[in-house]
Amino acid sequence: DAKTTQPNSMESNEEEPVHLPCNHSTISGTDYIHWYRQLPSQGPEYVIHGLTSNVNNRMASLAIAEDRKSSTLILHRATLRDAAVYYCILRDNFNKFYFGSGTKLNVKP
């Protein structure tokens, strides 16, 4: 089973960029890297995904290391609404999505 490692918590100031790291040293060549976030009492919400190249969307950017053993989720300007638990996930060949332990992001005004 693919596994990811994330810091337990991080803190950011409002309107500053946030870089959330994830290690996935046992990733296989066909595993996709996903990021989801979860607010209290809600289901996880899709943020972004990628395979090899860096990705941008309206919510965030995903930077993937050249050896694919790590990745970083970048929130360009954190807002109070971005406070959540962020999960780094690997999707394997069998359609399984395995969640990492998650990083709780606190955004200070």
Query: Binding of another protein at residue 94 (CB under 8 A)?
Result: yes
DSSP three-state, residue 84: strand
Does residue 102 bind another protein (CB under 8 A)? yes
For another protein, which residue of 60, 62, 100, 105 counts as binding (CB under 8 A)?
100
DSSP code at position 69: S
Site size toward another protein (CB under 8 A) is 21
Closest separation in Å from C-beta 89 to another protein: 9
The CA-CA-CA angle for residues 73, 100, 82, to 5°, reads 40
Residue 80 φ/ψ, nearest 5 degrees = -60, -30
Structure tokens belonging to residue 3: 């596994």
Q: Which is nearer to another protein, 12 or 50 (CB)?
A: 50
By CB under 8 A, what part of segment 18-77 binds another protein? Answer: 32, 34, 36, 41-46, 49
User: Quick check: helix, strand or coil at residue 37?
Assistant: strand
- Residue 106 in the binding site for another protein (CB under 8 A): no
The tokens describing 21, both together, are 């790291």
Residues that bind another protein (CB under 8 A): 32, 34, 36, 41-46, 49, 87, 91, 94-102
